């Protein structure tokens, strides 16, 4: 996991003073290109890592070798924990490592570093959308969460005009490339999609957050509510076992494996309506078998519509009757 490597990279540099990307690659059992990208990621995030070219050069921390993290500034510590923190939600060993790193920081930096580690949650299960580039607003909103200052948003709901509102920043969620912002409002907790936020400004006014608030738990409640609405209909489908992982990734939490049947695996798909399931699996054509009659009817109708609109061309270019 990348966040784990980034922490390990930093600790190796602290212990040895200077290392080449190739030496790091050997230690971490990755390619030299991967080690170089990790070093560049740390540098881009604000961690004081720099490259020294030429014979005898390599990568090092500003100030030389260190045996702990006490040489990091507050901003540098926040940058490190913003990079590594999200993975702690899905990897207990990283959460344990971050706790140890927090204890190694000067006491005055610990609160900000922990806030940075808790500012973002990663959810790898997709909601049927293509992975997107990291939005440019992420860094600004992470800063608001860490510094706990209110944010003024310009937000546009689907089919509505953009509206401005002021909110308390509680955390961000990276759901397989689609980002969400969880915030407190006058109407309680709300979730905003970052790709619908047209503008952000930090007000400088102190924000409030409920005592004991935990971002991972709050996100689980959001997911549970959304999944309940998206799972009102179910259908069983036979999928060739060799395609199972691709099929499961495509449908995320809406795909539950029921068991193997010869060279196929029976799965259960859920969606709001039978038509939604039919639309989701139509692209698999005859490689899968849908067992639910309601979904079969919709697939037959979709197939008939496609044949009608795109009749197969006969030799010579004309459409077959």
pLDDT for res 64? 47
pLDDT for res 111? 61
pLDDT for res 1? 44
Choose among 136, 154, 135, 152: nearest CA to 144.
152
Domain ranges of the chain: 2-116, 123-228, 231-309
- Residue 58 · residue 36 · CB < 8 Å: no
pLDDT for res 241? 96
Choose among 89, 84, 83: nearest CA to 218.
89
CATH of 231-309, one of 2.20.25, 3.20.20, 3.30.43, 3.30.70: 3.30.70
pTM listed for this prediction = 0.50
Token duo for residue 281: 């699996």
pLDDT for res 237? 96
- Residue range 2-116, CATH number: 1.10.10.10
> Would you write out the chain's pLDDT as a tens digit for each of its 321 residues?
455 577 677 777 776 778 888 988 888 888 898 888 888 877 776 677 888 777 767 888 765 434 345 555 555 555 555 655 555 554 555 555 555 565 555 555 556 555 655 666 556 555 655 556 677 888 888 888 878 899 999 998 878 888 899 999 998 888 877 889 999 998 899 999 998 998 999 998 999 988 888 888 888 888 888 877 777 789 999 999 999 999 998 888 789 999 999 999 999 999 888 999 999 999 999 999 999 999 999 999 999 999 998 887 555 555 555
Rounded Cα distance between 214 and 114, Å, is 12
Rounded Cα distance between 3 and 101, Å, is 13
pLDDT for res 97? 56
Rounded Cα distance between 102 and 109, Å, is 8
* 297: Cβ contacts below 8 Å, ≥ 6 apart: 274
């Amino acid at each position: 996991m990348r966040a784990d490597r980034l922490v390990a990279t930093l600790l190796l540099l602290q212990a040895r003073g200077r290392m080449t990307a190739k030496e790091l690659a050997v230690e971490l059992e990755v390619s030299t290109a991967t080690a170089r990208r990790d070093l560049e990621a740390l540098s881009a995030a604000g961690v004081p890592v720099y490259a020294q070219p030429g014979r005898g050069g390599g990568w090092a921390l500003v100030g030389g070798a260190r045996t702990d993290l006490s040489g990091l500034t507050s901003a540098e510590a926040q940058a490190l924990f913003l990079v590594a923190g999200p993975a702690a939600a899905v990897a207990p060993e990283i959460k344990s490592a971050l706790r140890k790193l927090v204890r190694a920081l000067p006491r005055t930096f610990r609160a900000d570093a922990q806030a940075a580690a808790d500012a973002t949650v990663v959810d790898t299960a997709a909601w049927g959308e293509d992975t997107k580039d990291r939005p440019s607003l992420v860094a600004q909103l992470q800063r608001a969460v860490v510094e706990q200052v209110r944010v003024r948003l310009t937000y546009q709901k689907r089919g509505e005009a953009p509206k401005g509102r002021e909110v308390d920043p509680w955390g961000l969620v990276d759901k397989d490339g689609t980002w969400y912002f969880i915030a407190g409002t006058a109407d309680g907790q709300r979730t905003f999609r970052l790709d619908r936020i047209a503008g952000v400004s930090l007000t400088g006014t102190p924000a409030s957050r409920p005592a004991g608030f935990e971002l991972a738990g709050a996100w689980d409640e959001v997911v549970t509510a959304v999944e309940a609405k998206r799972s009102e209909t179910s259908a069983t489908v036979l999928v060739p076992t060799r395609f199972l992982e691709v099929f499961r990734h495509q449908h995320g939490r809406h795909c539950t494996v029921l068991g193997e049947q010869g060279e196929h695996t029976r799965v259960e798909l859920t969606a709001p309506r039978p038509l939604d399931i039919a639309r989701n699996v139509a692209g698999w054509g005859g490689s899968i078998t849908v067992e639910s009659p309601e979904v079969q009817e919709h697939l037959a109708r979709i197939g008939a519509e496609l044949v009608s609109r795109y009749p197969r061309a006969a030799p010579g270019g004309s459409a077959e009757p």
